[in-house]
Amino acid sequence: MTEQKLLPGSFGPPARNLPMKPLAEEGFNPVRCVIFDFGNVLVAEGLEKAREICSKKTGVDINEVWRTTIKPSWKALERGELAEGDFWKAFEALVNDRRFDAGEFRRLLFENQRYNEKVVDLIKELRSEGYVTALLTNNVKEWIEEWDRLYQLDRYFDAIVSSHEVKAIKPEPIIYEIMLQRLGAEAGECVFIDDKERNLETARRLGMKTVLFRETDRAIGEIRRVLEEHGLGPRIALPESEETRERLRNKLREYEGRMQRYDGAPELLSSTGSYYKAEIVRRLLNEGHIYTRQLSREFRKVGFFDSREFLNAARVIEDYCGTGGRNTRGGTGF
């Protein structure tokens, strides 16, 4: 008979960008990483506005040039295989109109780039909730460096992968795989947000959840829906009151005392509320918060698991922490 294990007795706090590793089993991977595209997601795309303005000024359909004759050079620029100066020289030659000025085009690009404040607010909220956030972008070396200088991107992202750096562009699978390596995550632990369906198709094939970004409020609602269904789960936070914390420490000692009678019988211990309450309280005291869905999946991984006892224990502790120890859930006890 395979030996059944119980969760170890204590856990240290996770790193900011490496949250407690959840289960790797199929079907038990909570989403813990939220990966954003840059243009038309994090920012309003200045590139499109610059093309529109220059088209009107020159009478040349800059969008058509961009989609056709200059496209190979543009892709080489995104891959980091072409210097930006060489790209603009090729572009000016193709437009062949003295009214077109590459320097002005670049200036218009940056002038018309605007942060999507609602998305920035969402990223801040997600980070405060324990999610890892990342940026996966097809971008130009000089441009992403400039935007980083303007916006300090590392304030919002634990990992940034730009196409110029890795010599690959979306939707090529390798650029997504590099992101997963940097996050130390599996595809099933990630949701990817992009404004192009072709980029989402690759993410889905790899196993990520995806959200197509078209309209801000609708996309944010969909991201929240995905996380509600597949994310870290309801959060229980350690109360600020030292008196309440001391009560929790006393209860932990009480639970551990009750558990001693089941020593050597994990199948019996795992069917008791004390087992689950002790681990929930222990983690709260060590880490300051827990995510119930993530913790339940860890219990499932290590052996015997009684979902009813776990949920009841989580509700009791949540109620205790949320009411400052008044325990308003009648009849559950603490």
Q: Which parts of 5-126 are beta strand (E)? A: 33-36, 43-44, 114-115
What is residue 324's predicted lDDT score, i.e. its pLDDT?
65
Token pair, residue 314, equals: 């989580």
| Interval 49-106: pLDDT, tens | 888 888 888 888 888 888 888 899 999 999 999 999 999 888 888 887 767 788 888 8
pLDDT-based confidence at 16, cuts 50/70/90? very low
Percent of the chain with pLDDT over 70: 88
* Least confident among 91-105, 124-138, 238-252: 91-105
**What does the pLDDT average to over 19-23?**
37
Asked if residue 192 has pLDDT above 60, the reply is yes
What is the pLDDT averaged over residues 204-212? 98
Give the residue-averaged pLDDT of 105-121.
Answer: 90
Summarize the confidence of residues 256-265 as an average pLDDT.
84
Neighbouring CB atoms inside 10 A of 82's CB total 18
Q: Are 16 and 134 in contact (CB under 8 A)?
A: no
> Residues 6 or more apart from 192 whose CB is under 8 A from it?
35, 37, 136, 176, 199, 200, 203, 208, 209, 210, 211
33-42+114-230: CATH architecture: 3-Layer(aba) Sandwich (3.40)
pTM (global) more than 0.85: no
Domain extents for the chain?
Answer: 33-42+114-230, 46-111, 235-322
Q: Is the pLDDT of residue 330 over 60?
A: no
Token pair 């087992």 is at which residue? 275
